[in-house]
Chain A
Amino acid sequence: MKKINAMFKRLAARGEKALIPYITAGDPSLALSRELVLEMAGRGADLIELGIPFSDPLADGPTIQAACQRALKQEVNLPKILDLVRTLRQDTEIPLVLMGYYNPILAYGLDRLARDAAEAGVDGFIIPDLPGEEARDWHRAACDAGLAPIFLAAPTSGPARIRKIGSLTRGFLYYVSVTGITGARAGLPEDLKTALAEVRQLVTCPLAVGFGISTPEQVRDLAPLVDGVVVGSAIVQKIACRTDAAMVKEIGDFIAELKAPLRSGQ
């Protein structure tokens, strides 16, 4: 949790915004996930989300569904992802957040997972199918272990819920840009900017926006309204099935392009 807070503070002092890329851990392999994290960290990512593959990712579109399937074929599971984080911590201090559905987390055990993840070097968790109402045990377990339980707000939430979620979340508030599932989109909702300006008034924590954001132009457009931008499916699409060395470099170039409009003075 501390590393996430420090990162947002450091960037804010410089007038800079965070780039938050997402990849599914183990897609196409755990070894390449490791290389991808290090490449992204070196090319401008400020926090990295590692997806925990799940058999039934019901908030995700086809791109991340397929990535989950590829990772599950490699028999990737939570213990292996914690091992990945452990080896990454030998080489990078970038904040790492695991994003995954509740059942695998429940199956591991809430308290045990919070302890093991913190010990491995994880900084927080995003659980898209765990709304605040059902999160009491997890919130306590995560906070006790020093992990940030990060919650999402949506265009359907309305001011009262957003205020509540804003006081519950740690690290940052993840605002879902669209009424829908994950996936790269050509256009974002017209009222997104107005919505983000409203959310800004309702919460005091750092604010990141995600879902559907796929180009440097979209990032540039949203940067002034938020503290961070999440890009997922657009990166996962570029990874899709490729295992060649050029792929890692290409992702690095894409990260650099996405980060450019988030640097100060842009």
Chain B
Amino acid sequence: MLPDKHGHFGQFGGRFVPETLMPALLELEKAYSRIRRDPDFRKELAGLLKDYVGRPSPLYFAQHLTQALGGPKIYLKREDLNHTGAHKINNTLGQGLLARRMGKKRVIAETGAGQHGVATATVAALLGMECDIYMGTEDIRRQRLNVIRMKLLGAQVIPVESGSCTLKDAMNEAIRDWVTNVRHTHYVIGSVAGPHPYPRLVRDFQSVIGREAKVQMRQAEGRLPDCLVACVGGGSNAMGLFYPFLKDPVRFIGVEAAGHGLESGRHSATLVAGAVGVLHGACSYLLQDPWGNIREAHSLAPGLDYPGVGPEHSYFKETGRAEYVAINDEEALEGFKILARTEGILPALESAHAVAYVQKHAKEFKDGELVVINLSGRGDKDVEAVSEILEQS
């Protein structure tokens, strides 16, 4: 099973961090391998996922969207119905309980769309931990409501004003904080990215999505789905849905953000259009210039606006286990609109990329094919931004 004991997925992954953090990563790895088998921990996490998060999240047959598109039979995995409105809480709850068992009194996190920040602040409030969230000033502007939510939950939101003022820069700043306060602080990474053991740990906590979907699809259709579709920024919701189907004959499609279009250079399509490198502690595909400086990413969806991607997705790309495609801003807005109009569901702009992919390629699926779209988050946070754009056009 991957990753290997050094945290590598083939050539990807690993631990590319300052020496100061190496002992903390080794400690986290050791603590995690002990605690994850602890029956008390598993019981506590399962109880909270059920009664606090509201799991299992429904697998909803989107009949009207299916009819409107005239393609495959579409099911939605409703992570948007989780407490705090996205899949992020599956991971923050797991890491929060882990951090508490490790005796850490403070948690920090980076956030782009604010969903991971809100989920971390929520768990910090629940577990009585101090919480600081790093967020780029551009994202603070775009996701005002989530900033207010984090503050109401008792977290401090620290504005980051370097680089593109988005997720990558927030992650730089969170790592700098962690280097400084590593002895009493746990860094809650929000995606299947970062140094080992994070990609594995986050994958494990998010895999509840795919495990449930498998059971639910068997109940609904008596068989496995044919295809899973999820948006990919860092890639945690996609990995959470895909991973439990790894050995099954099921297609994986990861949808990246093409932003203004791949040819414009203003996009976040790391796997589709990037090159292999090292950022934020792991070897993976990156958006970079010929000299290895990181390029600014762009996407309408702040949660996808990241120039890196989880190392296991890079491995899936290399081995051909998953296909990665890109959907631009305009197409994502169409996905947002069609789901709102046909099913009465406002998806997060991130998840709208996955909807838009199926919308665009509906006719290429065979009749009766079963497709699961991961609806990773709800769109309330994007209402302001979307209405601004729709008014302009």
Interface residues of A (CB under 8 A from B): 54-56, 58-59, 61, 65, 72, 77-78, 102-108, 128-131, 133-134, 151-158, 161, 165, 176, 179-181
Contact = CB atoms under 8 A, between A and B. Distances in A.
Contacts of B277: 103, 106-107
Contacts, number: 111
Given A54-B293, A131-B17, A134-B14, A161 B279 contact: no
A105 B292 contact: yes
Main secondary structure of the interface of A (DSSP, over half): loop
Contact of B20 (A65, A102, A155): A155
Interface of B: 6, 14-24, 162-163, 168, 172, 175-176, 179-183, 277-281, 286, 288, 290-294
Contact of B22 (A105, A133, A181): A133
Given A55-B293, A157-B23, 5 more contacts: A59-B179, A106-B277, A107-B292, A131-B15, A161-B19
Contact of A107 (B20, B182, B291): B291
Contact of A179 (B15, B175, B179, B293): B179
Contact of A58 (B19, B172, B181, B290): B172
Contacts of A158: 23
A180 B168 contact: no
A59 B286 contact: no
A93 B363 CA distance: 69
B293 A152 contact: no
A180 B23 CA distance: 14
B278 A102 contact: yes
A105 B20 CA distance: 21
A41 to B, nearest CB: 27
Contacts of A151: 19
Contacts of B278: 102-103, 106, 129
A128 B21 CA distance: 11
A59 B293 contact: no
Most buried by B among A55, A78, A103, A107: A55
A108 B292 contact: yes
A179 B6 contact: no
B282 to A, nearest CB: 10
A208 B24 CA distance: 24
A58 B163 CA distance: 12
Most buried by A among B21, B281, B291: B291
Given A56-B279, A78-B291, A106-B277, A157 B19 contact: yes
Given A55-B294, A103-B278, A103-B292, A152 B19 contact: yes
B292 A58 contact: no
Contacts of B17: 129, 131
B286 A103 contact: yes
Contacts of B280: 58
Nearest to A180: B180
B291 to A, nearest CB: 4
